[in-house]
Amino acid sequence: MAFAEHLTSPAFKENAKGALADPQLQSALHGVETGVVDRRRATVEKLPEFQALRDSARDIKNHTLAHLDLYLEQFEQKCTAAGGNVHYAVTAEEARALVLDICRKANAKLVTKGKSMVGEEIAINDFLEQNGIAPIETDLGEYLVQIRHELPSHIIMPAIHLTKEQIEADFRRVHTHLPADRNLEEHQTLLTEARTVLRERFLAADVGITGANFLVAETGTSIIVTNEGNGDLTQTLPRVHIVLASIEKVVPTLEDMSQLLRVLARSATAQEMSVYTTLSTGPRRPGDPDGPNEYHVIILDNGRTAMLGGQFREMLRCIRCGACMNHCPVYAAVGGHTYGWVYPGPMGAVLTPSIVGIENAGHLPNASTFCGRCEEVCPVKIPLPKLMRYWREREFEKNLQPATIRNGLAFWAWFAQRPRLYRIATSLAMFGMGLAGKFFGRFRWLPLAGSWTRHRDFPAPHVQTFQAQWKRGVRTR
Amino acid sequence: MSSRETLYGSIRASLGVTGGEPARRAAVAERLKAHPRGVIPARGQLAPRECVTLFAKMVEAANGSAELLANAADVPTAVAALLRRHNLPMQIRRGNDARLATLPWDNARTLEVSTGASDGGQLASISHAFAGVAETGTLIMTSGPDNPTTLNFLPDTHIIVVDAKDIAGDYETVWQRLREKFGTDALPRNINMITGPSRSADIAQILILGAHGPRRLHVLVVGQP
């Protein structure tokens, strides 16, 4: 598969080791767990209807998925009636070929891009470059990862792994037409430089490619949500606008879109509403002074119709807010690149194996503590831990795990099915560890658990097991 | 088989349907026709006057600024005052919107008013909103010769005029007005929902205004609700 060159998910463990030992990355990640999480909570608390809106959002997505063929047909009909062109792609290869064909017909040399996760998924930038067309990312975070030849490390904050100093160094390396002695110390000066450099590209581009947060079937409309205004310029200034959307982006009506918008920005960036939500219906109309002459929507499957029929259908409710990764202790420790492909964190742990195969991404659903925070904050209530568990089961069934894990699990199954033996053995272990840990209350080191205790102490257990306490009638903590 | 047929075939196989089931078709037709509103936050469900107050408050919460004007005729002098306050050139770009074209621009004598879309060379623009939404301080803009889309994004300072009577409590009320005005067969090419000025936090998570769009958004609420 074409994306294999970027796929490092099989090396999750090595990636994680590198990430944990990288001081710049650790410093950049520090703000995720604290800042983003607190801000989201504060914003959510300001809206008493938030939990009811999550239920509503979930129900809208479930209804749409159950009638997906009909809503897509409706979208196609309305979009076409408004002068748009709807294309379908079963695979990433087909989607890339469609994009290239449209670009060639438009005689395009320069393509600007709004942020699109589907664009990342089909690796459209590499493909266009190989075919002599220059793609320029315009979302600041996407631009930063593009000039570093990296994948985004977060689905809405693509450059969250970078420090200001790294960004300054990259700008000096890439913007060689600017004076070498310019001052780039402030965040503001860095932003101004990016704005100036990208403004020229916006005005010069032949084709603009964006993603879609939603497609509205009722009106044949595509919707993008941005804070910078980059996606909006990307689709307004060039002669041709191409929308990359996967099948599950469709929603029935403008009202349904509004329900989802109310949970999207709050979950993603802790804003009441993103700065720009732009609804596009067809190309430039007679008399319009601006806007593209051509409007194309490419609707991609790439493994999703298979998810629709199986255990992973609920994952297709995802609206790509990134709240699950913001609240994930594993993500906060290792960052997005460790996951080794386009979609990191809990949502990636479910989605990536669906697209690239569990044999390539088996570590991802295992890289979870199952703490459940992702499910608690998910605006469309996707049971992410349950879906990760399904992948673990499939991995086991397919015999994909190493022998140590398989043997360990087999022993555990044998042990856990013998209650008497289990009780005796655990009581003995508790008693022994309780005695040994009595003095300090915790262990700095334990046999067979060295890599665990290297990063934190292991608490000494109660002298009795839970089952023994329960039997004695202990019912309080 | 075309990709279209393959894709629809896969969806239907996964759902275990043929696509011809009358009950499914009826459910879809019904939802499209009724477009149920779902959960509407109580926050914006206010009397018209309070709605305007909440709207202005939410614009400011989103780093914009808002000013209430008793009459549309006050707009030109308010524009001139804003430009002067920020030490900007006395130039503004607008579209053909009749509500802007008929304003007494001569009242602001030093102000130079040009018309048309933006090519990136203008520092300030003025547009007329289709509506405002109090719930989040959001402005709803419709594209076309009256209010070119580029005026919303390219100039550094964007001034938006909205009639107080067009401020609704929620988005859904505005969608209904859009359907009444344009029908569902031809929404305007672009509908821009704008909540505050452009921003980015992509550089080390520090929020800075003015990423690619305007770094200043000023809203003039005109008249009585």
Between helix A50-66 and helix A68-81 the angle, nearest 10°, is 90
Question: How much is the pLDDT for A5?
Answer: 56
Question: How much is the pLDDT for A460?
Answer: 79
Matching CATH number, A2-162+206-305, of 1.10.10.10, 3.40.50.10420, 3.40.50.300, 3.40.640.10 = 3.40.50.10420
Q: Is B115 touching A (CB cutoff 8 A)? A: no
B18: closest chain A residue by CA: A69
> Are A323 and A378 contacting, i.e. CB atoms less than 8 angstroms apart?
yes
Residues of chain B falling short of pLDDT 50: none
H or E element, residue A269 = helix A254-269
Query: Going by DSSP bridges, is the β-strand pair A221-226/A276-280 parallel, antiparallel, or unpaired?
Result: antiparallel
- Across the interface, of A56, A88, A141, the residue whose CB is closest to B38 is A56
Q: Is B155 touching A (CB cutoff 8 A)? A: no
The pTM (predicted TM-score) of the whole model is: 0.93
Neighbours of A359 (CB within 10 A): 11
Question: How much is the pLDDT for A124?
Answer: 97
Higher pLDDT, B59 or A465: B59
Question: How much is the pLDDT for A477?
Answer: 61
Structure confidence by residue, pLDDT tens digits, A202-239: 999 999 999 999 999 999 999 999 999 999 999 999 99
Structure confidence by residue, pLDDT tens digits, A287-342: 999 999 999 999 999 999 999 999 999 999 999 999 999 999 999 999 999 999 99
**CATH 3.40.50.10420 boundaries in chain A:** 2-162+206-305
Question: How much is the pLDDT for A3?
Answer: 47
Q: Is A430 touching B (CB cutoff 8 A)? A: no
DSSP, residue by residue, B129-169: -SEEETTTTEEEEE-SSSS-THHHHSSSEEEEEEEGGGEES
Q: B43-222 has which CATH code? A: 3.40.50.10420
The tokens of A93 are what?
Answer: 């290869």
Asked whether residue A1 carries a pLDDT value surpassing 70, the answer given is no
Strand-pair partners of B171: none
- Domain limits of chain B? 1-34, 43-222
Structure confidence by residue, pLDDT tens digits, B36-84: 999 999 999 999 999 999 999 999 999 999 999 999 999 999 999 999 9
Query: Going by DSSP bridges, is the β-strand pair A221-226/A214-216 parallel, antiparallel, or unpaired?
Result: antiparallel
A308 contacts on B by Cβ (under 8 Å)? 11, 14-15
Chain B neighbours among A 336-375 (CB < 8 Å)? none
Strand-pair partners of B167: B132
- Alpha-carbon gap, residue A415 to A422, rounded angstroms: 6
